[in-house]
Every structure is written in C-alpha cells, then in structure tokens.
C-alpha cells in the first residue's frame, strides 16, 4: 500500500518542495538579471533579501532544498542499490534527520542578523 | 503511482522519457553539491545582505564562478522545468490543456535560460557607486 504511509509523504513533500524551489529559481534568475541594469538597481533589488520577511521565506527555501536534495539521493539509492527498496523507510528517517541537522545551523546564520545576534558572516569576502 | 522495487522500475524503453529519468538522477547528484555550496557561500560564510554588486564584480573576475553559476542555472532550470512537466502530466488530462501547458513550459525554459545566460556572459562591472559592501 502506498496511500498514507511514509512513501506517500516522502513523495508529496518531494514534489511540493521541488515546485517551491522552481518558483524561487525563476524569481532568482530575474533578480540576478538586474545586474545588467547597473549597481544601484541591483543593490536595491538584492536589499530585499536582507529584510526580515524574505529571511523567513529563505528559511523555508533552505529547508525545502535540503529535504529535496537528501530525499533525491534516497530515491536514487532505491533505484540503483539492490537493497535500496528494503531500507527505504530507514532512509526516509535518515533524510528527515539530515535535513534538520543541516537546517538548524544554516537557519541560525540566516536569521541571526534580524535579532542582532553575532553570526560573524558579514565581514567575510567570499 | 508505483513503488520502486529496485527491480524493473528503471525505464529501459529508450526515447525521451528514459533520458528524462536518467537526467533527473544525474543532474540531481550534481545539483546537491552545486546548490549546497551556493547556499553556504551566499547565506552562511557571507550574509545575504552582503551579496552586493561589488561582491559579484569581485567574484566574476574569475571565470570559474561564471561557469559555476551557469552550470547551476542550466541544471537547476532543466531539472525543475522537467519536474513541472511531470506534475502537469500527472494532473492535466485534457489533450488541449496539456499541449498548451507543456508548450508554455518549453517557451518559459528557453526564455529564463537565455535571460540567465546573457546576464552571466555580458556582466561587466560598472565603475562608480558600487553600493554597500561587507567585504572587510
């Protein structure tokens, strides 16, 4: 059975996250294209990313990216590793744990400036 | 929806759908690395508020980053738009609507690919007001 079990939720989350990431990608291609209109326009556009509301949206994006990435690896393992299907439930749990473990520190760096917390990432070059 | 058993779920018929199935997995593997490094560079080691014109100008002096971003653009766009094509395949059953929506996806993919590619190729930093910089 597929409906209602972990397979359904992993599939649904994968699809919803993927569509969300695609929507952001299209917006992102447009905001990067502002580079062609010069520094003032570009910097004004990119300044939006530093606002609290967009930082919160970014958290959702990062969570979606991490889940979609790890679950994508799980799907690939199910397809190519002969024992993949047998361990799919365990791998789904691993995907969720990895997503949370990677999300928490990244989220701190994204949200810290809102609360004036030290993140020491504002002076770094590249 | 079928569950992959690990046996026989891989498409073997050839043609576009088989190519698409492999493309999802191969581009996906590359994207895991490309996207996570991209996120770390622009949200963790550098705060997003500092990804200014000046930072891009500095970064794009090195063609490596243009190539990196172009790979990211191309793989993510094709992977994502192909995903959208599958979603529409799943939910839209009317022949006319499918044709209309799938064609729209094709056109949008081309438009966004060209917009991104042209931006990456033609970017030449303009001297003058570069705006805020956090580069210390």
Q: What pLDDT was estimated at residue B61?
A: 93
Range of the domain at A57: 6-113
The tally of domains found in chain A comes to 1
Q: What pLDDT was estimated at residue B136?
A: 45
**Each residue's pLDDT tens digit, A46-96:** 899 999 999 999 999 999 999 999 999 999 999 999 888 888 899 999 999
Q: In the predicted model, what is the mean pLDDT of residues B131-136?
A: 56
**Each residue's pLDDT tens digit, A9-23:** 999 999 999 999 999
Q: What pLDDT was estimated at residue A4?
A: 65
CATH number assigned to the domain comprising residue A109: 1.20.1300.10
Give the single-character DSSP code of B9. -
Distance from CA of B96 to the nearest CA of A (A): 23
Mean pLDDT of chain A: 90
Distance from CA of B88 to the nearest CA of A (A): 11
Token readout for B26 is 């191969």
A-chain CB neighbours of B110 within 8 Å are: none
Verify whether the Cβ–Cβ distance B134 to A113 is below 8 Å: no
Distance CA B132, CA B51 (A): 9
Verify whether the Cβ–Cβ distance B84 to A26 is below 8 Å: no
Judge whether A124 lies within some domain: no
Judge whether A126 lies within some domain: no
Here the ipTM equals 0.89
**Each residue's pLDDT tens digit, B51-61:** 889 889 999 99
A-chain CB neighbours of B126 within 8 Å are: 38-39
Q: Could you tell me the residue ranges of all domains in chain B?
A: 16-122
Q: Does B39 touch chain A (CB under 8 A)?
A: yes
Q: Does B32 touch chain A (CB under 8 A)?
A: yes
Distance from CA of B64 to the nearest CA of A (A): 13
Verify whether the Cβ–Cβ distance B58 to A55 is below 8 Å: no
pTM value is: 0.89
Judge whether A119 lies within some domain: no
Residue B6 has pLDDT above 60, yes or no: no
A-chain CB neighbours of B56 within 8 Å are: 35, 42
Region B16-122: CATH code: 1.20.1300.10
**Each residue's pLDDT tens digit, B82-100:** 999 999 999 999 999 999 9
Of B43, B59, B118, the CB nearest to A110: B43
Verify whether the Cβ–Cβ distance B49 to A122 is below 8 Å: yes
Q: Does A120 touch chain B (CB under 8 A)?
A: no
Q: What pLDDT was estimated at residue A99?
A: 98
DSSP assignments along chain A, one per residue: --TTSHHHHHHHHHHHHHHHHHHHHHHHHHHHHGGGG-HHHHHHHHHGGGSHHHHHHHHHHHHHHHHHHHHHHHHHHHHHSTTTTTTHHHHHHHHHHHHHHHHHHHHHHHHGGGGT---S-SS---
Q: In the predicted model, what is the mean pLDDT of residues B66-75?
A: 98
Judge whether A123 lies within some domain: no
Q: Which of B43, B14, B80, B131 lies closest to A55 in space, CA to CA? A: B43
Verify whether the Cβ–Cβ distance A40 to B58 is below 8 Å: no
């Amino acid at each position: 059975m597929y409906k209602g079990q972990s397979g359904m939720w992993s599939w649904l989350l994968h699809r919803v996250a993927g569509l969300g990431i695609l929507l952001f990608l299209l917006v992102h291609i447009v905001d990067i294209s502002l580079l062609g209109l010069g520094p003032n326009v570009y910097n004004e556009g990119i300044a939006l990313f530093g606002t609290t509301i967009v930082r919160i949206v970014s958290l959702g994006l990062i969570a979606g990216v991490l889940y979609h990435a790890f679950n994508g690896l799980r799907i690939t393992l199910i397809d190519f590793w002969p024992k993949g299907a047998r361990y799919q439930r365990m791998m789904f749990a691993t995907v969720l744990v990895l997503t949370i473990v990677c999300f928490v520190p990244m989220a701190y760096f994204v949200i810290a400036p809102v609360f004036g917390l030290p993140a020491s990432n504002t002076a770094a070059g590249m | 929806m079928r569950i992959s058993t690990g046996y026989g779920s891989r498409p073997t018929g050839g043609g576009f759908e088989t190519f698409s199935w492999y493309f999802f997995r191969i581009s996906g593997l590359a994207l895991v690395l490309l996207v996570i490094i991209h996120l770390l560079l622009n949200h963790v080691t550098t705060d997003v508020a500092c990804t200014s014109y000046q930072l891009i100008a500095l970064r794009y002096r090195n063609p490596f980053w243009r190539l990196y971003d172009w790979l990211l653009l191309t793989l993510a766009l094709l992977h994502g738009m192909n995903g959208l094509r599958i979603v529409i395949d799943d939910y839209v059953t009317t022949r006319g609507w499918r044709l209309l929506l799938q064609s729209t996806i094709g056109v949008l993919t081309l438009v966004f690919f060209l917009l991104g590619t042209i931006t990456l190729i033609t970017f030449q930093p303009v001297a003058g007001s570069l705006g805020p910089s956090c580069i210390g």
